[in-house]
Amino acid sequence: WIQGANGDVTWEAATNKPVDPVKLPTAADGAAPLESSDGPSLVAAIPGPRRAWLTIGPAPASTTQEELRVHLGFILPIVSQFLQSALEVEHAANELAERYEEINLLYTISEILGRTVALEEAARTILSEISETVGARRAAVLVHDATAKALVPVATLGVPAQDVAALPLDGDSVSAEVFRTLHPKILEPGESTRDGERPFRKGAMLSVPIMWTSPRGGAEPLGVVNLSDRRSDQPFT
């Protein structure tokens, strides 16, 4: 038996008809007998990060609880090792999928920059690709305007561009801070909410500096990209 993310307990495998999961004990460890008209049974929590249980039985009526415990002691470590291995494979697959998305995004951006000469057009397309990768429904690319000493919007998603105002570099906005410090920030819902960023922010927000490496090798900031309103409701990383 395995408990899913929604709390439901379902059986993964059985050699015969499984017992009703409602009868599973809530104890986190130890073995407990299960009441069954078909014969004696034992259930025990499977060690590991995932909540799971192993049931032995129903057995013939003549079987003692001690005999069942011998079988349980033999099978439980094997099932525990199998579940742990399956969990590691699942995590590895998820990590590979994330890396593939990142690499694919980099290739896409390279292609966009290779065939585009207009800043606004490139920014809009790149912002769309980035937002799709992280599942953000609101986003904005702000570029440094040295004359105005501000970050001005060149591309937006989920909000009209005219609703986003320029943000002064010496202001208290998160975007200005990220541009000045060159360090990305992850903001939780309600944290550091600023009026100038309300149009492109809903809930948590990821703010990342856009960097350029000069021919001399130094890194210079060009602007900031902000992503918010994630479709999965998962936190940004």
pLDDT at 227 (0 to 100): 94
> Low-confidence residues of the chain, pLDDT below 70?
17-30, 35-36, 113-114, 116-117
Are 232 and 136 in contact by the 8 Å Cβ rule? The answer is no
Burial 6-35 (b: 16+ CB within 10 A, else e): eeeeeeeeeeeeebeeeebeeeeeebeebe
Q: What residues contact 65, with CB distance under 8 A and at least 6 apart?
A: 33, 40, 42
Are 42 and 65 in contact by the 8 Å Cβ rule? The answer is yes
pLDDT at 18 (0 to 100): 63
pLDDT at 116 (0 to 100): 63
Token digits for 96? 């590979």
> What pTM value is reported for the model?
0.56
pLDDT at 44 (0 to 100): 85
β-partners of residue 185 are 207
Tens of pLDDT, residue by residue over 94-140, are: 777 777 777 777 777 777 766 766 778 888 888 888 888 888 999 99
